[in-house]
Structure 1
Amino acid sequence: MSHFAVIGAGQAGASLVARLRAQGFDGQITLLGDEPVPPYQRPPLSKKFLLGEMAEERLYLRPEAWYAENGITLRPGCQVQAVLPAAREIVLKDGEVVTYDKLALTTGARPRPLPGAIGGDLSNVFSIRTLDDIRRLAPHVVHGARVLIVGGGYIGLEAAAVAAQKGLQVTLIEQAERILGRVAAPETAAYFRALHLANGVSIREGTGLERLLGEGAASGAILSDGTHLDLDLVIVGTGILPRTRLAEEAGLLLDNGIACDATGRTSDPHIWAAGDCASLPRGTGRLRLESVQNAIDMAECVADNMLGAGRDYAPHPWFWSDQYDVKLQIAGLSTGYDRLVTRRDDRGARSHWYYAGDQLLAVDAMNDPRGYMVGKRLIEAGRSADPTRIADPATNLKELLTP
């Protein structure tokens, strides 16, 4: 009986094993996860879960019993020491050896830490990635506490929104010249800057963290402009790094993560990868996507290919972010845009449409689900729309879907 093993019990790993069974694979499946809980959703951690609006059990992607019921051996709290491709073996930290016929690496990503010299090892400095991170952070998120958030990407901004809603005094710093500098247009950044300022968040752009002050716990911070802040806690939201140690030590090719071909197969013919840890060929470079949607879609494609489908993965990226009462929905990738078109309506909906020449690349939709839906469908079909019609609030967007 064939044995397919999956290392990494996050969204990608859970999606991959479910797909294997759904596609009729009747061999042995083992899902190895280093956290002591079943696979769970990460996006609600820094939102509804931290706000106390979601119970832990609702985070789980499936009830723990589902895995056994479907013949999947789920091993939470399992530390993998090494992968030995020549022997097709997985060596666990306690010395146990697990053999496999095919292996998928869905090891995800880890938060980018603060340099030790800055003081990232203090007890009240937190990242937001795992359930344990939020459990440790939650007791510090109390009304009136002074929090410094390092990083003005979506992780930092979402943390700032929750902290402000909980009544904390929030300062957010971004070392680059503006928030959302890598992922969104200045117009989208301006929208969210104004939203946070209106909710009492102090935003300092072009400002880095020089060092944290305190013994054992952070009591203050010195910023790059010389400002001194008194603090009760620090949240670090400076991005994530793909978890590639096992792949690197196994001799697999790395390139912006674990390098895969278009089917998700790594440089070893018996090993695949999917999710945040994996990169795919795109044009003359490589693309690595950090999103729930990509974790699910790529994992399902990889599962099919582990069963012999030979199907190339063609991602259609979409993302979302919830901040206060604003739902941001993003379709496509804006890299290479040279024109931005803004659409507004009298209900407060707003969307930014990215073009390269006449080609629609991406849409940022703020409380505009119709704009998002239409933009997503156009992008996935490889079609565009007349920018003047997009900008005209009288245009019925659904009409743009008609060829």
Structure 2
Amino acid sequence: MSKEEHFVVIGAGHAGGVAVQSLRNFGHEGRVTLIGDEATLPYERPPLSKDLLHSPNDSDFQLIRDADYYNDLNIDILLKKTAVSIDAETKLILLNNGESIHYDKLLLTTGGRPQTLDIPGSELENILTLRTIEDSRAIEANLNKGAQILVVGGGFIGLEVAASARMRGAEVIVLEANSRLMGRSLPAEASDVFLKLHAENQISVRLNQSVKKFLGKNEVHEVATISGETIKADAVIVGIGILPETNLAESAELKIDNGIVVDEYARTSNPYIFAAGDNTNHFNPMLKRHIRLEAWLNAQDQALAAARTMCSDLKAYNKVPWMWTDQFDVNLQIAGFTEKWNNFIIRGDINRRDCTGFQVEGGLIRSALSINRPRDMRVARRMISAQLPFSESELEDDDIPLRDLLKSAKSK
């Protein structure tokens, strides 16, 4: 690496914040610039749908690092600046203020943008999505006791917002278009646990239900559903997933397919441009195919891999996917590749919300979940990564510690 090389990171979210400090850790001595369109330094996103909605202050707002840290590493940070295009031939980034920045190597950590509903009335005020600290503050401002809150989407974010709103005393209704909550990630048995949890906390969940149109004058006041029901709403929070942010990648003529296509080293189709985080569709060596993830750990670890690659120290990103959610007093963690749960083995008591479950294929654990058992999940992730056969009967036996099963499997 030359001390004259300028490494630029576009996107000051979690992945971007991790990447710039990692570039220094892996030995880059040239210029490092981080460009972000928000007004704040990189910060932790998970509290946005949890702790920050529980209380009307920012005491749980967490910067990844403070300004002094970046200054000490001689990292230039450009906030409230939006990159609008990339000329890959000249290696120039055009900003929204007309300024151009030259790079030698470029990392895109632009994340994703919330999906919205393109239906009548969607332009009304108080129809909100959640991605940034400002989004979280806007939602929190509506969570008054007795407020009528409608959440569209029964996935992780939607249910976390619903739980937070209910804990603030709001009246909450959740509309989910599919037949199960968190249906893309959970087996039916676990989905039922969360349906009951929200019902116990006086949240009305309507499955197989979606919005036909929003009603109101300037602000939304009612929501009409496809079944003909009209629901009063002081605010609507739409949590139906995100779309990978690929506009800049398209301007650079990178390969796009459900995100920016990268290999296990975070390399794009251009040898001088790299990508990491929610905006990527990355090759997973364990699966031997590309996958796109929307998770905190993926943003962090893929950013580390990208920084390492940019510093010419190749190490494949080959981590087991992992994510978690906290809703009321229940902690759910999921690891692995959760496309299907057709051989779901449970240890513990799922009805008491105290269990660990496994999806087993050909003796190998493909995915795992834990409900209020975080210690089990730490071992389960290692069991998935080991790619060793396990006895289904022993996995089900709650009297045998998982760490003993893993130790035994490794010794064979």
Q: Which residue of 2 aligns with 1:400?
A: 405
| Partner in structure 1 of residue 13 of structure 2 | 10
Q: Distance in 1 between matches of 2:28 and 2:170?
A: 50
Q: Structure 1 residues 177 and 311, CA, compared in 2 at 3 Å: closer, same or farther?
A: same
Amino acid in structure 1 at the alignment position of 2:228: G
Q: Which runs of 4+ in 1 moved over 6 A?
A: none
CA contact (8 A) 2:47 2:61 kept: no
- Opposite residue 209 of structure 2, the aligned amino acid is T
Alpha-carbon distance in structure 1 between the residues aligned to 2:289 and 2:365? 21
1:272 is aligned to 274
CA contact 1:158–1:323 (8 Å) conserved in 2: yes
State the Cα RMSD in Å.
1.6
Deviations 1:21-56 (A, max 9, x none): 111211100000000110011110111111128735
- In the TM superposition, 1:52-91 aligns within 5 A as 52=55, 55=58, 58-91=61-94
Give the AA of the match of 1:144. Answer: G
Q: Percent identity?
A: 37
1:94 aligns with 2:88: no
2:337 equivalent among 317, 333, 355: 333
What's the CA shift for 1:276?
A: 0.4
1:223-281 CA distances to partner (integer Å, 9 max, x unpaired)?
11111111111010000000000111221110110111221111111000000001113
Shift of 1:203: 0.5
Q: How much does 1:384 deviate?
A: 4.0
Equivalent runs, 1:1-400 vs 2, <5 Å? 1-52=4-55, 55=58, 58-115=61-118, 117-282=119-284, 285-344=289-348, 348-400=353-405
Equivalent residues, number: 402
Find the residue that maps to 2:248 and give its secondary structure.
Answer: helix
Per mean C-alpha deviation after superposition, the further-off stretch among 335-344 and 130-139 is: 335-344
Please give the secondary structure, in 2, of the residue aligned with 1:49: helix
Determine if contact 1:102/1:271 at 8 Å carries over to the other structure.
Answer: yes
What amino acid is the match of 2:20?
Answer: V
State the distance in 2 between where 1:354 and 1:148 align. 33
TM-score (norm 2): 0.94
Q: Distance in 2 between matches of 1:250 and 1:259?
A: 13
Alignment TM-score, normalising by the size of structure 1: 0.96
SS in 2 for 1:362: strand
8 Å contact 2:330–2:353 — kept in the other structure? no
Alpha-carbon spacing, 1:80–1:205, altered in 2? closer, same or farther (3 Å):
same
Corresponding letter in the other structure for 2:242? I
What CA distance in whole angstroms lies between the structure 2 residues aligned with 1:57 and 1:349?
28
C-alpha change, 1:376 and 1:167, in structure 2 (3 Å) is same
> Which moves more between the two structures, 23-32 or 275-284?
275-284
Q: Within 1, Cα distance between the matches of 2:76 and 2:349? A: 51
What 5-or-longer segments of structure 1 have no aligned partner? none
Q: Deviations over 1:52-107 (max 9, x none)?
A: 28735742111122111110001111111111100001111111110010000000
